[in-house]
Amino acid sequence: MPSYRVALQRSDGSVLPDAPLTALLHTPVASLAPWRESQNYPGQRHLTGLAYLARSGQHVPFESRLEQFALTRLDHDPATVRVAAQPFLLTWEVEGKVVGHVPDFLVERRRQGPLVLDIKPKAFVDRPDTACAFAATREACDRLSWNYAVWTEPSRPFLHNLRWLSAHHRPPFEHEVYAPLLRALLQDSPRTIGELVGALDPECLVRPVLFHLMWRREVLADLEVLLDDFTPVRLA
């Protein structure tokens, strides 16, 4: 079995260049800075930037649109506490040669173990070097009793639905008035979006409140199907 080592950088500027894998167990997610900085250059085809996470109040760097959407997905998850981008360098030996991999995100979660995430297009997941890096990262996470996952492209309905709901991450006008009324209407059984907004007035104020509750996952729907007025929703 390979011996895994890690290198990491803290937000105070200090660097741990070579440490046992277990050093991660004693390193708060909030203390981590990206191991490497995103590169920007003329003519690049990928998008880099900072994504705002409403749940943690963070601006988290991303290096592709796929990573940007992964952060939106994490922000939608009520278990998410904090996210670190490019959180550490994992190294191990293959045939006497030291190789390494930097995961895309490390997620601190409520009532769950940490989650290490790699974000990759489906077309690249099975490439030998990529598959080797992901397998090693999964094994290292298993040793820590952490969770590991590889996220690829979402379905188009899920992508469009979550992007739409993310625009409602802030409590809208009259939220404190209509949120209790919407919860009361859903207390006994699911109803469609059209039924809910038709039961209260004015619709222009009710819809944003409903979408905010859906973003917060206080109200649930099947996001693998495009949302419309016939979409059934229910209380979480």
Domain end marker among 151, 170, 203: 151
DSSP letter (8 states) at residue 220: E
Judgement on whether residues 22 and 126 belong to the same structural domain of the protein: yes
Domain total of the chain: 2
Which CATH number characterizes residue 24's domain? 3.40.1350.10
Judgement on whether residues 140 and 211 belong to the same structural domain of the protein: no
Judgement on whether residues 89 and 203 belong to the same structural domain of the protein: no
How many residues are given for the chain? Answer: 236
Judgement on whether residues 72 and 134 belong to the same structural domain of the protein: yes
Q: pLDDT of 185-231, one tens digit each? A: 999 999 999 999 999 999 999 999 999 999 999 999 999 999 999 99
Burial 82-103 (b: 16+ CB within 10 A, else e): bbbbbbbbbbbeeeeeeeebbb
Query: pTM value?
Result: 0.93
DSSP secondary structure letters along 54-120: TTTTEEEEESSHHHHHHHHHHHH-TTEEEEEES--EEEEEETTEEEEE--SEEEEETTS--EEEEE-
DSSP letter (8 states) at residue 127: S
Judgement on whether residues 131 and 23 belong to the same structural domain of the protein: yes
* Residues 177, 213 contacting (CB under 8 angstroms): no
Domain end marker among 102, 128, 151: 151
Q: pLDDT of 19-40, one tens digit each? A: 999 999 999 999 999 998 877 7
Kindly calculate the radius of gyration of the chain based on its CA atoms and give it in whole angstroms. Answer: 21
pLDDT value at residue 37:
81
Judgement on whether residues 109 and 182 belong to the same structural domain of the protein: no
Domain end marker among 98, 131, 151: 151
Judgement on whether residues 121 and 64 belong to the same structural domain of the protein: yes
Judgement on whether residues 166 and 201 belong to the same structural domain of the protein: yes
Judgement on whether residues 146 and 186 belong to the same structural domain of the protein: no
Q: pLDDT of 37-79, one tens digit each? A: 877 777 777 789 999 999 999 999 999 999 999 999 999 999 9
Q: pLDDT of 113-139, one tens digit each? A: 999 999 999 999 999 999 999 999 999
Q: Which two tokens stand for residue 16?
A: 């741990």
Judgement on whether residues 102 and 182 belong to the same structural domain of the protein: no
Judgement on whether residues 81 and 142 belong to the same structural domain of the protein: yes
Q: Which residue type is seen at 21? A: L
Domain of 211 in residue numbering reads as: 156-235
| DSSP 3-state of 41 | coil
Judgement on whether residues 190 and 220 belong to the same structural domain of the protein: yes
pLDDT value at residue 39:
74
